[in-house]
Structure 1
Amino acid sequence: MPGAVLWTKTPGGPGAGAGLVLPDGCMDLLWSEGRLLVAGPDTRAYAPGGPPAHWTGLRFFPGTAPGWLGVPAHELRDRRADLAELWPAAEVRRLRARLEAAALERAERTGPPDPRLRRLVAALDAGRPVATAADELGVGARWLHRRSLAAFGYGPKTLARVLRLQRALALARTGVPFAQTALRAGFADQAHLARDVRELAGMPLSELLGGR
């Protein structure tokens, strides 16, 4: 499906002990032991609970899931919702029985995602200010905020923070010192990075990276 990536997680397998799920701007359709859940866009770290289980997920590129689900992203912000809350029961049963075929069928009935949303993600991920991104797209601030709420679950400034955090984590995981990580990722300084990590992940950066 365009704009989505299929993934799996097996108890004891690679990534099984990854722990916290950090904000990344994405939404997921999750399938495990007959349950179909939708993971909305996160604004803070999410700690999965329950016993180990096999999971299959369809991860949507930021801004693409709402058109497929038929629900604005902000209604699912920081939630894990049963798909039966969003779709008719018969459709959920059909999807449960034939997950891939039903998903493709629904995707065919949905128009392609607004290309401006992908361009917005690319611009913000490159570190450009929201106002600059809006000018490049030729849209106003009010339109951008309204479309961002529906597509991403939060406004463009929060999306920019989430993407900036992901840039910082990618740099820090390669061994870049925290001070350099902060500047290269677009933070004012290391203290600014530390504040954002605490707000979005709920712990210090060194703890988040495993005691580095």
Structure 2
Amino acid sequence: MYEETRSAVVPGAVLWRAEGPGQVVLPDGCMDLMWVEGRLLVAGADTGPHPAGEVAGGAFAGIRFAPGTAPALLGVPAHRLRDRRVALDDLWPAGEVRRLAGRVASYGNPCAGLEALAARRAAEAGPPDPLVAEVVALLRAGRPVARIAAAVGLGERQLRRRSLDAFGYGPRTLGRVLRLRSALELARAGMPYAEVACVAGYADQAHLAREVRALAGTTLGAYVAGADGANSETPQPSGSRTTA
């Protein structure tokens, strides 16, 4: 079982719950704060598929933050958590995390507790790097990195450093991940693969196939065949976003 809903108070965030057997988590450019049977954990941005069962548990809840927005809330550069699932008390004082875990537990729905926790942190921490939204929008539009750097007034090296802190990886990798997510959504909606490649911005269908294999560890056909609840933004019992 997996269900999700947009957060009403944390811009761009998604609240999710999952139970039962997990699935592979695919890259989506996002970071999650998770509640796993009384524990608070953080899932970093991924560069490849993560297996089911990575985090032990049978019931999971989480808040998935929009790309680039979690580091301001967590107080940790995103690259430190890339491809990792860590206990929150590895990042924050253990006493504070125990107190926060108790507060989340006091809610009937842990998603509501996580949302309240994130909203308080956002109010205290202030907005994320102002570069985030612009870079994401330009990458989604298919702009090359050199043009993005020029548009935001940075050199390519500066843009890469800022991106590592905000997203966990450089703009080229983030662009590949965002394009993959777009392609998977189109394929899952039933669009022919050759058309998916064209619309998502790949050179051809072979290019699309190589990227799906490289980033998702599978084929597009296998993904679509098992896509019920199996999209990297869909956590399930495992480790980050449970197991999506």
Q: TM-score under structure 1 normalisation?
A: 0.91
Instruction: Encode CA deviations 1:47-106: one digit per residue, 9 max, x unaligned.
Output: 220666221101111001111111111111111111111110011011101133544333
Secondary structure of 1:136's counterpart equals helix
The answer (yes or no) to whether the contact 2:71–2:166 under 8 Å persists in 1 is yes
Distance 1:102 1:207 in 2: 37
TM-fit CA distance, 1:110: 0.3
The answer (yes or no) to whether the contact 2:197–2:208 under 8 Å persists in 1 is yes
After TM superposition, the structure 1 stretch with the greater mean CA deviation from structure 2, 142-151 or 107-116, is 107-116
Task: Decide which of 80, 88, 91 is 1:86's aligned counterpart.
Answer: 91
TM-fit CA distance, 1:168: 0.7
Structure 2 equivalent of residue 45 of structure 1: 49
After TM superposition, the structure 1 stretch with the greater mean CA deviation from structure 2, 127-136 or 24-33, is 127-136
Task: Decide which of 6, 20, 25 is 1:21's aligned counterpart.
Answer: 25
The answer (yes or no) to whether the contact 2:129–2:166 under 8 Å persists in 1 is no
Q: How does 1:95-114 map to 2 (within 5 A)?
A: 95-99=100-104, 100=113, 101-114=116-129
Aligned length: 207
Letter in 2 for 1:79: R
Query: Alpha carbons of 1:183 and 1:103: their partners in 2 closer, same or farther (altered >3 Å)?
Result: closer
Distance 2:201 2:100 in 1: 42
Secondary structure of 1:45's counterpart equals coil
Task: Decide which of 19, 27, 41 is 1:10's aligned counterpart.
Answer: 19
**Gaps (5+ residues) in structure 2?**
1-9, 105-112, 228-244
Secondary structure of 1:30's counterpart equals strand
Query: Alpha carbons of 1:3 and 1:181: their partners in 2 closer, same or farther (altered >3 Å)?
Result: closer
**Gaps (5+ residues) in structure 1?**
none
TM-fit CA distance, 1:160: 0.3
The answer (yes or no) to whether the contact 1:94–1:102 under 8 Å persists in 2 is no
Of structures 1 and 2, the one with the larger relative CO (CA 8 A, separation 6+) is 2
Q: TM-score under structure 2 normalisation?
A: 0.79
Distance 1:94 1:52 in 2: 21
Secondary structure of 2:225's counterpart equals coil
Secondary structure of 2:25's counterpart equals coil
The answer (yes or no) to whether the contact 1:95–1:103 under 8 Å persists in 2 is no
After TM superposition, the structure 1 stretch with the greater mean CA deviation from structure 2, 90-99 or 24-33, is 90-99
TM-fit CA distance, 1:122: 1.1
Task: Decide which of 38, 41, 64 is 1:34's aligned counterpart.
Answer: 38
Distance 2:90 2:160 in 1: 26
Letter in 2 for 1:76: L
TM-fit CA distance, 1:167: 1.0
The answer (yes or no) to whether the contact 2:36–2:59 under 8 Å persists in 1 is yes
Distance 1:37 1:136 in 2: 36
TM-fit CA distance, 1:163: 0.4
The answer (yes or no) to whether the contact 1:197–1:204 under 8 Å persists in 2 is yes
- The runs of 4+ residues in structure 1 deviating greater than 4 Å are none
Letter in 1 for 2:102: A
TM-fit CA distance, 1:129: 1.3
TM-fit CA distance, 1:141: 0.9
Letter in 1 for 2:67: P
After TM superposition, the structure 1 stretch with the greater mean CA deviation from structure 2, 101-110 or 182-191, is 101-110
Distance 2:200 2:119 in 1: 37
